């Protein structure tokens, strides 16, 4: 303990401070892992957690892990998933389901990988057990329900944080500090520069940032739903959950952030099921837009009931009107604690009401209502919170602005990353940010969502140390592994729990090494950090997989193709197409597949306006593999009608007259088109006997 003097509100006060080598603020997965790493390196550490439960989203309902490429998840992050695996080796863990009945389906990988002894899909309480096991095993000092005094609590001497005080009056003094919160509260209170919202594409030479109207095709309304209380009558006002005003200019900056929701643990197991009930203040009128969507035939509400063990789910947002509370979180990142609590209550009321409405309201089609009513909350999860997750999904809040800013160009490896402290691999992913009124060519108003982006970066990418450390003139003993210095769209890929644990370990290593050397975190020699991280099993980079046979480029720029090309990123998608870049030869940033029919009937419409009335040869870009469908349904919409073909996607087309760039283009025939009528190709998967893959459609004048 040490004694500190504070001048606060004109009074000189003396307080006793707890003193540690490293103080971690935030009990998230990154915070716990950071503390473990500090302890492993022989230094004293405390975790000051505003939350009572450790683990953040990893123990808060996100059990269907967004793992991306699991081969780049190393160190303590991989150890966490190994420890989860050990729990599921115990027969007593399987209470409501036989292990053999689970199915072992994960997100892009098997759930339970016996070869690597890792488990990527798990129940919330199992994850929390693992974090508590870390606390016991490493004898971590953890204080809970301690909230930073954001207005006056941070004490600095020059650019060094000396201590911070919580609202209870306790003071925590340290030599190094780590902000592991989702909100970046310590970072902000320490005077570190940050941003909230979306940058303009032009600011960092990106393509997926800012307002995204054209790309917002997933989780979109399947038909044109009228936005007004009285259909067709603007004077009657907008239905609830539709924002006023237009979406903004494509690619331009704004202060909007992607929607939040609670990742729900649901079950149909009768002895473990708690039926949905109406929350306080429930108002069925809040779901009028959902009712119209369902009455128009949408079945989207069952789209993301991802299975986790013991007959439970990790139920996430899916479709146009779902658990994402679009547009209701803009204030959250910088709001006071009281205002944040109000926002959390509103999100709970919205989402609990959503489940109650779907399972009880007469406006819901009976088949949907009866099926939804089979579900309920899992009684053995979140027992001290009425079985509701204790952590909302803060998909983004504040993001630090450092000398280094991770951008789309780094993720695509178009700009080099020189000081890797870990790797990411997930899609550049943003949920919708707003719901607005659009108008078609005839002036008819309808509802649209804006902001959804799901683009694969093209493979795993390194994350630079510079993204974790503030500018040297702002703070020299703080490391930030969660609210990293990244653009909105780059953060959309980084923001995955395995990556937060990777960065938590790397942040702690950097803090300890800087402490031992008596230097600023900005002055830490990267070679020293790199050596320790590699010894700890962190994966800092991965050489591209060598091609066999002919050497092919990893991807093709659509501008290098003759004629007019529409990529899958610009197609109108119906259903849950899965982005991928696993194959080595594709158009633009990647392609999509239908999960071999696991997501039901899907379709993708590639459309363009051709400049001349004349014949065009139509080509379908293939990403061939033996597991592809040989009978994918393809419809060509041309001047004389619609031609339907069954197409083999499993092998390359004939090579006669083709270049390296055009060798994957399969001719669908020559058809007449006119500028007065959109040219379109629709790819769908009814009756497909393998994976249906979409990449691009190309038209060449003949």
The pLDDT of residue 15 is 57
* In a domain? residue 576: yes
Per the domain annotation, does 643 fall within a domain? yes
Within a domain: residue 404?
A: no
Helix, strand and coil content of the chain, in percent to the nearest 5, comes to 25, 30, 45
Q: Fill in the DSSP letter of residue 374.
A: T
pTM equals: 0.82
Q: Annotate 133-192 with DSSP letters as a single string.
A: HHHHHTT-EEEES--B-TTT-EEEETTEEEEEEBTTS-EEEEEEEEE--SS-HHHHHTT-
pLDDT at 126: 98
In a domain, 623, yes or no: yes
Residue 635 within a domain: yes
The DSSP symbol for 104 reads: -
Q: How many domains does the chain have?
A: 1
Residue 581 lies in a domain: yes
Phi, psi of 294 (to 5 degrees): -70, -40
Helices 29-40 and 75-87 cross at an angle (nearest 10°) of 110
In this prediction, residue 577 carries a pLDDT of 84
pLDDT of residue 661: 65
Q: What is the DSSP letter of 629?
A: -
CATH number, domain of 592, equals 2.60.120.260
644 located within any domain: yes
Q: How far apart are the first and last CA of the chain?
A: 82
Decide: helix, strand or coil at residue 308: strand
- Considering the domain boundaries, does residue 135 fall inside one? no
Q: In Å, what is the CA distance from 148 to each residue of 8, 152, 186, 468? A: 16, 9, 7, 21
pLDDT along the chain (702 residues), means of 10: 46 66 98 98 98 98 92 95 96 95 81 89 98 98 98 97 98 98 98 98 96 89 94 96 94 97 98 97 97 94 93 96 97 98 98 98 96 97 98 98 97 94 95 96 94 92 98 98 98 97 98 98 97 95 48 62 90 85 73 85 92 94 89 95 94 67 85 92 94 94 90
What is the domain extent for residue 688?
Answer: 558-701
């Amino acid at each position: 303990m040490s004694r500190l003097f504070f001048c606060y509100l004109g009074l000189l006060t003396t307080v006793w401070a707890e003193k540690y080598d490293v103080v971690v603020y935030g009990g998230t997965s990154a915070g716990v892992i950071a503390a473990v790493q500090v302890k492993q390196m022989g230094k004293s550490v405390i975790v000051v957690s505003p939350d009572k439960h450790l683990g953040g989203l990893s123990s808060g309902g996100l059990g269907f892990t967004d793992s991306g490429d699991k081969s780049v998840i190393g160190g303590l992050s991989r150890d966490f998933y190994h420890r989860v695996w050990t729990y599921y080796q115990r027969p007593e863990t399987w209470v409501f389901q036989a292990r053999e009945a689970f199915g072992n389906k994960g997100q892009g990988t098997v759930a339970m990988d016996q070869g690597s002894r890792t488990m990527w899909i798990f129940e919330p309480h199992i994850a929390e057990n693992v974090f508590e096991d870390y606390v016991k095993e490493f004898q971590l000092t953890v204080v809970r329900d301690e909230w930073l005094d954001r207005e006056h609590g941070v004490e600095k001497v020059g650019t060094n944080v000396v201590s911070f005080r919580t609202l209870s009056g306790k003071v925590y003094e340290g030599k190094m500090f780590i902000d592991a919160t989702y909100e970046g509260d310590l970072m902000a209170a320490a005077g570190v520069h940050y941003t909230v919202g979306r940058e303009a594409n032009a600011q960092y030479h990106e393509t997926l940032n800012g307002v995204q109207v054209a790309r917002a095709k997933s989780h979109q309304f399947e038909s044109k739903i009228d936005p007004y209380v009285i259909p067709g009558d603007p004077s009657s006002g907008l239905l609830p959950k539709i924002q006023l005003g237009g979406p903004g200019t494509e690619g331009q900056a704004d202060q909007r952030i992607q929607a939040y929701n609670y990742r729900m643990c649901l079950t149909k197991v009768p002895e473990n099921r708690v039926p949905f009930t109406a929350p306080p203040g429930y108002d069925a009128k809040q779901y009028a837009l959902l009712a119209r969507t369902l009455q128009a035939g949408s079945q989207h509400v069952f789209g993301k009931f991802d299975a986790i063990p013991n007959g439970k789910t990790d139920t996430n947002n899916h479709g146009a009107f779902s658990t994402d509370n679009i547009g209701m979180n803009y204030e959250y990142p910088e709001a006071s604690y009281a205002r944040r609590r109000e926002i959390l209550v509103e999100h709970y009321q919205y989402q609990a009401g959503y489940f109650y409405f779907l399972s009880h309201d007469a406006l819901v089609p009976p088949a949907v209502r009866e099926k939804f009513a089979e579900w309920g909350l899992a009684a053995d999860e979140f027992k001290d919170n009425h079985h509701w997750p204790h952590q909302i999904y803060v998909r983004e809040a504040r993001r630090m602005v450092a000398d280094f800013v991770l951008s789309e160009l780094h993720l695509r490896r178009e700009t080099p990353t020189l000081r890797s402290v870990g790797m990411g691999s997930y899609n550049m992913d943003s949920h919708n940010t707003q719901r607005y009124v659009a108008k078609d060519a005839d002036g008819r108003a309808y509802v649209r969502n804006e902001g959804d982006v799901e683009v694969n970066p093209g493979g795993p990418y390194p994350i630079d140390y510079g993204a974790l450390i503030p500018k040297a003139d702002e703070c020299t003993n703080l490391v930030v592994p969660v609210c990293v210095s990244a653009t909105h769209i780059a953060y959309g890929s980084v923001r995955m729990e395995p990556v937060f644990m990777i960065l938590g370990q790397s942040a702690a290593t950097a803090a300890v090494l800087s402490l031992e050397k008596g230097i600023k975190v900005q002055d830490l020699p990267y070679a020293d950090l790199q050596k320790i991280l590699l010894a700890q099993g962190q994966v800092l980079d991965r050489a591209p997989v060598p091609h066999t046979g002919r050497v092919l480029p990893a991807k093709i720029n659509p501008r290098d193709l003759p004629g007019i090309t529409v990529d899958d990123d610009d197609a109108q998608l119906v259903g849950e197409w899965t982005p991928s870049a696993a194959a080595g030869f594709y158009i633009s940033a990647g392609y999509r597949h239908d999960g071999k029919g696991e997501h039901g009937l899907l379709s993708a419409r590639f459309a363009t306006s051709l400049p001349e009335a004349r014949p065009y040869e139509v080509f379908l870009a293939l990403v061939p593999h033996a597991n592809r469908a040989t009978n994918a349904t393809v419809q060509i919409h041309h001047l004389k009608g619609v031609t339907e073909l069954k197409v083999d996607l499993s092998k390359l087309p004939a090579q006669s007259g083709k270049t390296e760039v055009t060798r994957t283009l399969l001719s669908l025939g020559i058809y007449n088109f006119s500028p007065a009528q959109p040219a379109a190709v629709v790819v769908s998967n009814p009756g497909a006997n393998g994976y249906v893959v979409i990449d691009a459609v190309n038209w060449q004048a003949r």
